[in-house]
Structure 1
Amino acid sequence: MLTLNKLYIISLAFATFVFCHPSLGQVKQTHFITGIGGSYVNVIDEGISPLLYKGIGGNVILGHFQEKENSINTSSAKFDFNNPSSSISNAEMYTYRLEGHYQRYWKLSDDANKSWKIRSGLDLSAKWALRQHLSFTNNSQHIETRFSVAPALMLARPFELWDRNFELGLFYSVPLLTYATRPLFASTRFPASVNKEEIGFFDYVRDGEIISFGNYFKWSTQYYLYYPFKNGNGLRLDYLWSYESYKAQNPIKTGEHSIMISTFFKI
C-alpha cells in the first residue's frame, strides 16, 4: 500500500510531465467554456442508508478547450447539486459535488480525410462530494474524495446539415487507478467528518487507499453535438451517463444522467 507522501510524489511527477511536456504543432483554436445543466441521480450509500435514493438537480461548468495540430487539451470544473429521496422511507438528502478534469487527446496523423476522428488520451480527475441526510439528527453528513487516472477515447464526426457545419462525438473513460477516501460512517456536522474542530485541505485526503478494478469501477460516457458560429464561438449540447461502484466496508453505488448546454467563447 502506498503512503500519502509517495502518492503525492508520483502524482506530482505525472502531472508535471502531462502539463509541461511540450506538444508539437501550432495552436489552431482556444475557447473558454461556460455551461449549465440538469441531472438525475441514483444513490445507494450504505455509510448513510442501505436504501436507494433518486432525485434531480443541476450543475454549472467552467472550462478551457485548446486544439493544436496534434493534440486536444481540455480542462473543466463542475459543481453539482442534487436532492435525492427514498420512495420507501420518504427521507431526503442533499448532495453537493465539486469535480475537476484535465484531459489530453492525441490526434492520429492519418485521420484528416476520414469521416470519424479517433483520438486516444488520458483523463486526470479529482472529486469532492458531501451528502447531507435531512432526516437524521446525528450521523447526517458524509464527505469523500477521489483522485483518478483513466485512459480516455474521443470520437468525432463532422457533418453538414442545412448548409451549416456541426460535429457529433463522444468521450468515454474508465479509471485504472484511483486514490479514494471513504469514511466508515457519516458525521453529525461538517468539521467532525475528519474529527477536528479546524480542518485543513489535506484532512480530506488522508487515510485513503489506492484502488482499481475489483474494488472500484467507474464508466463515463459523454455524447455531444457541437455547432460552431462563423465568428469562432460555438454552442454545444452534451448528454452524460456515468456509473460508479466502490466496494468499501460500507459500499456505494451511484448512477447519473445529465444534460448540459455550453457556450464556447473564442480567446
Structure 2
Amino acid sequence: MLNYMKEVHPAWIDYPLREGKRLAAGRYCVERFLGAGSYGLTYMCRELATGQPVVIKQPKPSKGKLGIELLLREADILKALEHPAIPRWIETFMHHKRPFLVMSHMQGETVEELLFEQHTVFSERQSLRLLRGVASIAGFIHNQGYVHLDLRPPNVIVQGERLYLIDFGLAARIGEPARVEPNADEEAWRRRMAEPDSDLYALGHFLLFLLYSGYEAADERRASILSNGGDVPGWEQELEMRPETRRILRKLLQLDAPYPGAAALLHDVEAAEARLAEG
C-alpha cells in the first residue's frame, strides 16, 4: 500500500488546474491545459481585461523547491532575452504560495505536431532553412550568456515563414550546473551541460528528425532516434543528402570536429542552401 501511495501521490498533486479557473485576483482565466514538462505545468489562458491570450506556467508541486527554483530561473532568463522569436515575460505572481509565470503566447504549430500529427515531409532545403532559423535564435541566446538545453521539435513553433523557440524551463546561464534527473545517463548529461556545445549537439538531432520525415520508415526511425539518444546508426546510409548537409550533421553530432559556435554553423548552413539553390 505504501509503494502504491508513493506512485500515486505525484500524479495526484500534479493534477492540472481546471478550465475556467481564475488566477492572479481574477486577472487571468485558464482556457485549457497545454501540457506537462519535467518540472512544470503549462496552460493557455486569457487576460480578462484585454482579451489577450497568454501562456501561464506553474511549477510541478511534486518537484518541491527544485520546481520553484527552475521556474523563477526561467522567468529571469525570459526577462533578459528580448527577441521576437522568444516568449516575452509579462509577470510572475504568487498563487497558493507558489510562483506562476505569465508569458506571451507564440502562435503556430510545433515541429512535433507537423511531423507526427500532420506527417509533413520536409525537403533537404526546407530542413536546412528550419535549422538556420533555430540556430540563429540559439546564437542570440548564447551571445546573451545563456543556453536553452531543450532544442527539440516540441519546442520549435512554425507560423508561415516565422519560427519561435519556447520552453526555457531547462535553460541556464553558460557555465552553470545544469539540471537533469538523478538517473540521467551519459547522453542526457551531454545534452544538458550548460555550454553552447549542448545546444548545437541537440540541433543535430533536430535536423535528423526533419530529414527523416521523407524516409519511408520515418516513424520507426524517429522512434529509434528517441530511444537510442545520440546513437543513430545507419543514417548516413539511409538518408540521401548533399555532401554539405552530411558534413553539417557530422559536426553537429560530434562525429567530426564540432562547431566552435552557432556563427560557424550558420555560415555552413547558408553555404549549403546556396549550393542547393544552384541545383
Give the TM-score normalised by the residue count of structure 2: 0.24
Greater strand share, structure number: 1
Structure number with greater CO (CA < 8 Å, separation at least 6) is: 1
TM-score where L is the length of structure 1: 0.24
Larger relative helix fraction: 2
